Amino acid sequence: MHTGACIIVWWGMVNKKTAFITGIAGQDGAYLAELLLDKGYEVHGLLRWDSYVDQRDGAGRLFDLDIVSEISLHMGDLTDAQSLTGIIKKIRPSEIYNLAALSQVGVSFDVPASTLDINVKGTLAVLEAVRLLDMVETTRIYQASSSEMFGCAPAPQNENTPMQPCSPYGASKLAAYWLARTYRDAYGLYAANGILFNHESPLRGEDFVTRKITRAVAKIYEGSGEPLILGNLDSVRDWGHARDYVRGMWMMLQQDEAQDFVLATGQSKTVREFVEKAFAHIDIEIEWRGFGVRQVGCDAKNDRVLVRINENLFRPKEVNYLLGDASKAREILGWHSSYDFNALVAEMVDEDIDLLQENTSLKDDGKCRKVG
Ligand code: NDP
Ligand code: GDR
């Protein structure tokens, strides 16, 4: 090899950035890992022990994106501060993306103490590890904050909106947000909060409303007679695409100074509109009949009931209206959302139909079922 080429290879090796992603097996973790690999990063990820032991299932999204072999996975738990510190000490990452969380808002009402343990003490463990390992000068932290912190605050919400969380999840994320800000102010740590509004994708967990809807619509398209059962149809969300949002996370860590940013599309829709759009994509027009929990969504052509309401799916307290103002991210980061609502819904329904068809053909072949 020529001396010049050697220098380029050496320069690339010493300057290769190392990222550590907690929650790497989640929706955002998987897309972020893919993005960072594309940018030439060495990528490490934290996997909970059961996900680590059964990686085909626990890290299924990394297999779906075909990137698992390029990532170093570490068994651990966000709530186990000692083991987490050991992993960070070994990797000495230049960037940490703290995405691991109990992220289901409804579930947080059932297990509030676990929610706080994971989301608050877990975040503290990451911040403390960086401080105690003397990595404040060398490591930047992204903290996955959430529009749920705004709770009942009037829309549109931005970085200056007073926060009024309405769930254990929202309260936990607000505490973690303030911990990140406190470590930034007290110790000079580069810790940026991304206050992200809802973002979805074909990799979205099946217990979130968008994916629940698109899976049910795909099954109905494939001939299922089971209606879609939902809770509150009238809450309003600002839904974007996860691929756009992970790009924003990375951008937040490339600034001269750590700051907090809202990422949102600035467009809001109700759950009901999401349902209508998803069915419209398979040429079914939904007609709503009745009121309250007795309301049903019917196929306008043949009166078949396709959507029902179950009051058990309502939350003890609901965030009614979320609509983000991402002007700061647009101006400072140059970030924008590239998907519109229609494209997002269409992609999710199409992918769920493809997945069902793929699974059916695998079953017909007598082969193992693909892990979805
Ligand atoms: P997911 O629920 O898809 O992923 C969360 C990941 O965290 C899972 O892989 C889960 O692992 C992991 N995890 C949970 N508990 C622990 C633990 N104790 N130790 C280690 N790992 C753990 O969430 P998203 O990818 O959608 O979101 C990423 C982050 O962004 C979360 O913090 C979420 O709260 C936040 N956020 C998300 C938004 C969205 O719309 N998607 C909007 C705003 C904020 P396992 O799979 O093994 O359970
Ligand atoms: P959210 O997302 O709570 O906004 O949190 P989710 O998709 O769970 O709910 C959105 C809205 O839909 C209503 N809803 C239902 N929700 C679920 N999950 N299942 C149902 O059957 C159902 N029927 C109606 C909900 O009441 C709610 O109003 C997401 C998560 O990703 C958080 O981690 C993240 O911080 C926020 O987005 C921003």
- Of the candidates 234, 233, 231, the residue with the CA atom closest to the CA atom of residue 312: 231
Across-strand partners of 200? 241
Phi, psi of 262, rounded to the nearest 5 degrees: -85, 135
* pLDDT at residue 360, as a whole number: 80
* pLDDT at residue 366, as a whole number: 46
Can you tell me whether residue 310 is helix, strand or coil? Answer: coil
Say yes or no to pLDDT of 342 above 60.
Answer: yes
What DSSP character marks residue 223? T
320 CB less than 6 Å from ligand 2?
no
Among 148, 150, 152, 208, residue to substitute to test ligand 2 (most atoms within 8 Å of Cβ) = 208
Say yes or no to pLDDT of 279 above 70.
Answer: yes
363: confidence class by pLDDT, cuts 50, 70, 90: low
The encoded tokens of residue 274 equal: 């999401």
At the topology level, CATH places domain 15-205+239-267+321-339 in Rossmann fold (3.40.50)
256-276: per-residue pLDDT in tens? 999 999 999 999 999 999 999
Q: What is the pTM of this model?
A: 0.95
CA 194 to ligand 2 center in whole angstroms: 19
* pLDDT at residue 371, as a whole number: 33
249: confidence class by pLDDT, cuts 50, 70, 90: very high
Look-up of token digits 């929706």: 27
Say yes or no to pLDDT of 192 above 50.
Answer: yes
* DSSP secondary structure, 117-185, as one string: IIIIIHHHHHHHHHHHTT-TTT-EEEEEEEGGGTBTSPSSB-TTSPPB--SHHHHHHHHHHHHHHHHHH
Q: How many CA atoms lie within 13 A of 301 on its CB side?
A: 5
The encoded tokens of residue 282 equal: 């398979």
CATH: 3.30.160.40, 3.90.25.10, 3.40.630.30, 3.40.50.720. Which one for 211-230+271-316+353-365? 3.90.25.10
316-326: per-residue pLDDT in tens? 999 999 999 99
161 CB less than 6 Å from ligand 1?
no
Separation CA 8–CA 349 (nearest Å): 45
Domain boundaries, the chain: 15-205+239-267+321-339, 211-230+271-316+353-365
172 CB less than 6 Å from ligand 1?
no
- Count the Cβ atoms, other than its own, within 10 Å of residue 365: 8
Assess contact for 16 and 40: CB atoms under 8 A: yes
What DSSP character marks residue 109? H
Peptide bond into 156 cis (omega under 30): yes
Percentage of residues in the chain having pLDDT higher than 90? 90
148 CB less than 6 Å from ligand 2?
yes
1-26: per-residue pLDDT in tens? 455 555 544 555 556 899 999 999 99
- Protein residue with least CA distance to atom 19, ligand 2: 209
214: confidence class by pLDDT, cuts 50, 70, 90: very high
Q: Please name which ligand lies nearest the alpha carbon of 60.
A: 1
Q: Please name which ligand lies nearest the alpha carbon of 317.
A: 2
308 CB less than 6 Å from ligand 2?
no
What DSSP character marks residue 307? E
118-162: per-residue pLDDT in tens? 999 999 999 999 999 999 999 999 999 999 999 999 999 999 999
